[in-house]
Amino acid sequence: MEAIREAIREAIRIERLSKTFSNGRKALDEIDLRVEPGEMVALIGASGSGKSTLLRHIAGFTASDAQPSQIAILGRPIQQNGRIVREVRSIRRDIGFVFQQFNLVNRLSVESNVLIGALARLPLWRRLTGRFPGAERALSMAALNEVGIGDHARERAANLSGGQQQRAALARALVQRARIVLADEPIASLDPESSRRVMEMLRTLNVEHQLTVLVSLHQVDIAMQYCPRTVALRRGKVVYDGPSAALSPALLKKLYGDDARELLDEASADSATDHADNNANEGDTGAPAQDTAPTSTRYAFALNPAHSS
């Protein structure tokens, strides 16, 4: 019975969420959003559209405006009506974070950083003595190997590249046995190859480990490549929520006006209107996008006729 109830529960449920900062800036404006368990959803929007603010609210790091509203994680409210619940820490155990800053403890080894994920599940005395059971260490190594950085387990986190640090954060989510991953522009400062690896790992967590993934992204082509569903924010409002495949340059222009450029690449934004009508004539190679290909080519692939309407 419990299993059935669990199965029908949304992973993330947001109702009427608004956030006005003390300077009067309305960063979130009546957001309603539901994410089902097992989904991999992209959150897109130009900078300043509210992506980070929304993710921070879902994580219970920031309280919303004090009007009737709710965010629930797997059926448990994490904040309501502008108040973060007292059990926030316990609810956060279900969430793995891949945020740009404060991801890892720099002075600790990579392995220790990943083991931190297991802490929440360990009895208090073990947390206090800092002694991890062998099983936890084995799990950490398995997770580090899975994300491809097992060789770096003993290094200090500070010595890892940006992409490796993001992968360590994903290993930590696995060790933590998180059920939801919130990733805030995890590839924003990475080169194409590192970006691809991080996105592939997110996909592995989603497909093979059944984690629900909500990932904010700057580029629409990446959203289309990895996430079946996209939620698009503009000025704190959800302006689109649906299949990523339907996000043609023309639709983006309609949703974002000139801001669409920021979500496409400059080159593809320029040609967006030119190509919008021609998409149906472009061949679908079925091949994965090449990291080495010019971004405009990558984008052309992402908008292949199989996806655009």
113 binds, among ligand ADP, Mg ion, none (CB under 5 to 8 A by kind): none
* Strand 40-44 relative to strand 229-234, pairing: parallel
Smaller CB separation from ligand ADP, 51 or 197: 51
The DSSP element (H or E) to which 35 belongs, if any, is strand 26-35
Piece of 18-26, 33-41, 51-59, 239-247 that binds Mg ion (CB under 5 A): 51-59
Query: Inter-axis angle of helices 266-276 and 249-256, to 10 degrees?
Result: 110
Residue partners of 267: CB distance under 8 A and separation at least 6: 294, 295, 296
For residues 5 and 38, give the distance between their C-alpha atoms in angstroms, rounded to a whole number.
Answer: 15
Identify the residue whose tokens are 């891949």.
Answer: 98
To the nearest whole angstrom, how small is the minimum distance from the Cβ of residue 49 to ligand ADP? Answer: 4
82 binds, among ligand ADP, Mg ion, none (CB under 5 to 8 A by kind): none
To the nearest whole angstrom, how small is the minimum distance from the Cβ of residue 51 to ligand ADP? Answer: 3
Q: Phi/psi at 242 (nearest 5 deg)?
A: 180, -165
Smaller CB separation from ligand ADP, 21 or 89: 21
To the nearest whole angstrom, how small is the minimum distance from the Cβ of residue 162 to ligand ADP? Answer: 18
Task: Tell me if 219 contacts ligand ADP by CB under 6 A.
Answer: no
Residues 5-64 touching ligand ADP, rule: CB under 6 A, are: 21, 23, 25, 27, 45, 47-53
To the nearest whole angstrom, how small is the minimum distance from the Cβ of residue 159 to ligand ADP? Answer: 28
Please list the alpha-helical segments (H only) found in the chain: 2-8, 51-58, 88-92, 110-119, 124-129, 134-146, 162-175, 192-207, 220-226, 249-256, 260-263, 266-276, 295-302
To the nearest whole angstrom, how small is the minimum distance from the Cβ of residue 19 to ligand ADP? Answer: 8
Smaller CB separation from ligand ADP, 45 or 186: 45
To the nearest whole angstrom, how small is the minimum distance from the Cβ of residue 235 to ligand ADP? Answer: 8
When binding is defined by CB under 5 A, the residue of 18, 49, 52, 103 that contacts Mg ion is 52
C-beta separation of 43 from 218 below 8 A: no
Could you give the angle at the alpha carbon of 306 between the alpha carbons of 304 and 309, nearest 5°?
Answer: 90
| Number of residues this chain uses to bind ligand ADP (CB under 6 A) | 12
49 binds, among Mg ion, ligand ADP, none (CB under 5 to 8 A by kind): ligand ADP
> Which token pair is 20?
């006005």
> Which token pair is 51?
């992506």
Smaller CB separation from Mg ion, 52 or 79: 52
Give the residue from 43, 27, 280 showing the smallest Cα distance to 182: 43
Smaller CB separation from ligand ADP, 62 or 296: 62
To the nearest whole angstrom, how small is the minimum distance from the Cβ of residue 114 to ligand ADP? Answer: 26
Residue partners of 82: CB distance under 8 A and separation at least 6: 63, 64, 65, 66, 67, 69
Smaller CB separation from ligand ADP, 23 or 129: 23
Residue type at 6? E
Which residues of this protein are in contact with Mg ion, per CB under 5 A?
Answer: 51-52
Which residues of this protein are in contact with ligand ADP, per CB under 6 A?
Answer: 21, 23, 25, 27, 45, 47-53
